[in-house]
């Protein structure tokens, strides 16, 4: 894996009022990599993920996707905030899957997947529909296209959400605890779709508590706690042979 990294974070800080959530995150996500973020709740992993597509604004450091600063532009040695419309353009290439699915409840599964290509890229209905059908087929929901989200199980909703993000043909996919809101028996279907996506070469950043998935599919793993990166490396090494005490303590509870 050569060339510039897909995501590069240098000393990223983020506070909510007095709460200092991210205290200097440095990491690189390479092209085509499955990058897992693990750690206890409140460690800042979800916040960091949301900074990558500028759902949250960073207060310090530098964060870039595919060589382009997120949410800011640099002219000389000054940073300028991007306008909302410019941020929207940056977000087109970054797909995101949420813990609570956030499907549009007033639209069918098919319409959910067609919405962004039509509204954002100005694609024709026919083209968007053709791709949406293919994507829903790919996530195993070819027979549920006409269903509204409330008529789908959690696992099915999350797979529609993945298809919806893929419809924008992103170069990077962010997963924010995609299986945490699911019944245990439904987790597998969603992980299968993610595994399939990883095999197709998609760059993925996954905040997860599924250590099995991280070990099996992940290329890199970062353990975060208290807003900093505690330990990082190959998932199989970090998970089986952690070096830091905090990592050991965390893993002993979740494994």
Query: By CB under 8 A, is residue 88 in contact with another protein?
Result: yes
Q: Does 122 bind another protein (CB under 8 A)?
A: no
Which is closer to another protein, CB of 169 or CB of 183?
169
171 binds another protein (CB under 8 A): no
Residue 181: HSE in the Cβ half-sphere, 13 Å Cα cutoff: 17
Roughly what angle, to the nearest 10 degrees, separates helices 125-138 and 109-121?
130
**Paired sense of beta strands 19-29 and 228-233, if any:** unpaired
**Residue 105 lies near another protein (rule: CB under 8 A):** yes
Among 28, 56, 30, 2, residue whose Cα is nearest residue 222: 28
Question: Residue 134 Cβ, how far from another protein at the closest point, in Å?
Answer: 18
Given candidates 4, 16, 89, 255, which one binds another protein under the rule CB under 8 A?
89
- Cα 147 to Cα 143: distance, rounded to the nearest angstrom: 9
Q: Is residue 57 involved in binding another protein (CB under 8 A)?
A: no
Binding to another protein by residue 143, rule CB under 8 A? Answer: no
Residues 134 and 251: their CA atoms lie apart, in Å, by: 39
Asked whether position 45 contacts another protein by CB under 8 A, the answer is no
- Other residues' Cβ atoms within 10 Å of the Cβ of residue 145: 18
151 binds another protein (CB under 8 A): yes
Residue from 168, 193, 206, 207 in contact with another protein (CB under 8 A): 168
Binding of another protein at residue 85 (CB under 8 A)? yes
**Closest CB to another protein among residues 42, 146:** 146
Only segment of 2-10, 84-92, 178-186, 208-216 that touches another protein (CB under 8 A)? 84-92
> Any contact of residue 98 with another protein (CB under 8 A)?
yes
45: phi then psi, degrees, rounded to nearest 5: -70, -40
Q: Is 96 in the site for another protein (CB under 8 A)?
A: yes
Strands (E) across the chain are located at 7-16, 19-29, 34-38, 60-65, 68-69, 72-75, 78-81, 94-97, 172-176, 203-207, 220-225, 228-233
Q: Would you tell me which residues interact with another protein (CB under 8 A)? A: 53, 55, 84-85, 88-89, 91-92, 94-96, 98, 100, 102-108, 115-116, 119-120, 148-151, 161, 164-165, 168
């Amino acid at each position: 894996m050569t060339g510039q990294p897909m995501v590069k974070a240098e000393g990223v800080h983020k506070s909510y009022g007095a709460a200092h959530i991210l205290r200097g995150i440095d990491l690189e996500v390479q092209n085509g990599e499955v990058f897992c973020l693990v750690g206890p709740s409140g460690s800042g992993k979800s916040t960091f993920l949301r900074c990558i597509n500028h759902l949250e604004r960073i207060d310090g450091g530098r964060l870039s996707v595919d060589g382009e600063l997120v949410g800011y532009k640099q002219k000389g040695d000054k940073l300028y905030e991007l306008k909302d419309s410019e941020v929207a353009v940056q977000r087109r290439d970054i797909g995101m899957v949420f813990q609570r699915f956030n499907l549009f409840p007033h639209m069918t599964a098919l319409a959910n997947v067609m919405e962004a290509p039509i509204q954002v890229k100005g694609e024709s209905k026919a083209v968007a529909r053709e791709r949406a059908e293919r994507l829903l087929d790919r996530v195993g929901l070819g027979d549920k296209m006409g269903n509204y989200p409330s008529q789908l199980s959690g696992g099915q909703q999350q797979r529609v959400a993945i298809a919806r993000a893929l419809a924008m043909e992103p170069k990077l996919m962010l997963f924010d605890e995609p299986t945490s809101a699911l019944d245990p028996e439904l987790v597998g279907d969603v992980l299968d779709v993610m595994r399939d996506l990883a095999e197709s070469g998609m760059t993925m950043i996954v905040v997860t508590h599924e250590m099995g998935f991280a070990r099996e599919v992940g290329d890199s793993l970062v353990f975060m706690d208290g807003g900093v990166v505690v330990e990082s490396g190959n998932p199989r090494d970090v998970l089986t042979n952690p070096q830091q005490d905090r990592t050991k303590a965390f893993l002993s509870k979740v494994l």
